[in-house]
Chain A
Amino acid sequence: MMKRYLSFLLMSLCVSAQAELTIEITQGIASSIPISVVPFKFEGSAKDSVDEIVRTDLERSGHFSLLEPDDMLSQPQSEDDIYFTDWRLLKQEYVVIGTISALPNQQYQVRYQLFDVFNEKELLTQSLKGTESQLRDIAHRVSDAIYEQLTGIRGAFSTKIAYVTTNSKRTKFNLSIADSDGAREKVVLSSKYSIFSPTWSPDGKRLAYVMLEDSGSKVYVQDLVTGKKQLVSANKGINSAPSFSPDGKKLALVLSKDGNPEIYIIDLATRHWTRVTNHYAIDTEPNWMPDGDHIIFTSGRSGNPQIYRVTLSSGYVERLTFEGSYNARARLAQDGRFLVLVHQAKKGAPFRIASLDLVRGLLQTLTSDTELDESPSVSPNGVMVMYAAKYNNRSILAAVSVAGDVKFLVPSKNGDVREPAWGPYLD
């Protein structure tokens, strides 16, 4: 037991030195599901503890309350060792057990089972294989499967996030990608110039972003496998706010080359341009709808920023937001049922993240604990929104569920973090 404790300690030391971001859960749902993830039987040594990652993932979703291993009456490692009466006594609804065995060629096999305590029945079992460095991926896959089995919603623990970190003097900017829990951060671009509006291609293989050089803003697309970055737009004036089309072949962006910020579409293969909007007010922040024929965007045409939707085939423009003095940078959630946006109720009021139910027309303010909330980005399963905010005078990332009932902070250990972009499913 002591040895295990030591290895845990070493493990957490390694993780904290490596990860730039940590997660602090500030609000979970009241009716969260009680579940126990028993420490997995482990033959071998690896720095990542699969069961610990699964516990953290499920806890962070806000939908589960996890029993601490120390509070368990027993820690069964096989089905025969499970005494369901014990777990019922602890008011647990589900129990997960597992084993990790070392295979030849530095491979590990993770096998786990999910049980329904009340019905004393196995609900799910899976066996996953990988190298030591893939144990973290395997853990997130286990979390995804358990989450989907118990909530009916696809898990997004295996997805990645992109974000920008900067020093307090704003002289160095890093565009990084990390696991959705902030672990395994990898810097994909370092620059003395400000980087913003990172956005993922639908296949998760490329990032488009804006770099603000001395001569102005330029749009680049970077291949995440080769690391090669390609200049997509460096016209006179603004080149900004990229958004990939659902097929990944086009990019909607903002250009002011014709005198005023307007939305354009560029075909990435042919470099053919199409102009979408034409208005003397600011038009910006396009976001492509899943059907490929609509783009939502921010426009100042009514006198203050509001969200509009343009139909590409007809050019028809429709206003979507009416409540509030400032509604901007909308992103779609749940196949376009919801908009998630930056919302200011009235002039001088705080900037919050809000959701707008496009079917019922209901606007709900989701955030309250942070300041200057901006850049909302929705998880691919449409459940969580990650955003940037000020908290204790620092720029941090935070997350809130689209329903508003789960909240967590993702503070960084050093520097400011901005511009989160939640990546797509990777398979």
Chain B
Amino acid sequence: MELNKLFAVSLLSLAIVGCASSGGTTDEAAMTGAEAVEESQTQGVPGSPDLDVVTEEQAEMAVNSLMEQTTVYFGYDRSEIRPEFKDVLNAHAEYLVANPQAQVVLEGHCDERGTVEYNLALGERRANTVKRYLIVQGANPSQMENVSFGEERPAMIGSDDSTWSKNRRTEIKYK
């Protein structure tokens, strides 16, 4: 992914990011340390940003850090987008809007609990809700492909709550 392309859309994105992140909380067990840091950085941007006082550089950094997050996580047996991941998805949607030639594969995954086949279906729903969200934000459906890997390709091996929460995810992969 060419992150320098972001420069062109960074100011517009910043406005959206700033608004959306103002209500964000970081109390989810699924958050990694890195995500929590990034989240607090974006919260550092004022809720109603005064564009005059935000430098272009700062704006680019804020969007870049969101674009670096290419995984969103889900609750057990759930496929709805959690509010704290909307900033991340908004940034990807902006990028897709600004770069109509960009293509992504949305990979839905599950934790190991439950049956293999039900999880394959659930993984697809997780990819689908991300796709629908990005479409609502303006991305073109033809830019996105869905694939479900169910519980077959875990991000982490293990059988505890923290491992499971890392495995219930949709990964956004740029082609």
Residues on A close to B: CB < 8 A?
168, 170, 194, 196-197, 212, 214-217, 237-238, 240-241, 254, 256, 261, 282, 284-285, 298, 300, 304-305, 326, 328-329, 342, 347, 351, 371-372, 374-375, 390, 393, 418-419
Contact = CB atoms under 8 A, between A and B. Distances in A.
Contact of B112 (A168, A237, A241, A372): A372
A238 B148 contact: yes
A79 to B, nearest CB: 53
B115 A371 contact: no
A331 to B, nearest CB: 11
Interface in B120-139: 120-122, 124-125
Interface string B72-98: 000011000000000000000000000
A257 to B, nearest CB: 11
A238 B121 contact: yes
A347 B114 CA distance: 11
B153 A282 contact: no
A285 B152 CA distance: 17
Contact of A237 (B77, B124, B149): B124
B115 A217 contact: no
B124 A256 contact: yes
B152 A196 contact: yes
Contacts of A194: 152-153
Interface of B: 76-77, 112-118, 120-122, 124-125, 146-150, 152-154, 157, 159
A285 B124 contact: no
19 contacts: A170-B154, A194-B152, A212-B150, A215-B147, A216-B148, A241-B120, A254-B121, A256-B121, A285-B117, A285-B118, A300-B118, A326-B114, A328-B114, A328-B117, A328-B118, A329-B117, A347-B76, A372-B112, A372-B113
A15 B113 CA distance: 35
A374 B116 contact: yes
Contacts of A241: 117, 120
B106 to A, nearest CB: 12
A417 to B, nearest CB: 14
Contacts of A197: 116-117
Contact of B114 (A214, A351, A390): A351
Given A238-B124, A254-B121, A212 B113 contact: no
Given A216-B148, A261-B124, 16 more contacts: A170-B153, A196-B152, A237-B146, A238-B120, A240-B117, A240-B120, A241-B117, A241-B120, A282-B122, A298-B115, A304-B77, A326-B114, A328-B118, A375-B116, A393-B159, A419-B116
A196 B121 contact: no
Contact of A282 (B116, B118, B152): B118
Contacts of B159: 371-372, 390, 393
Nearest to A173: B152
Contacts of A419: 116
A284 B117 contact: yes
A418 B151 CA distance: 13
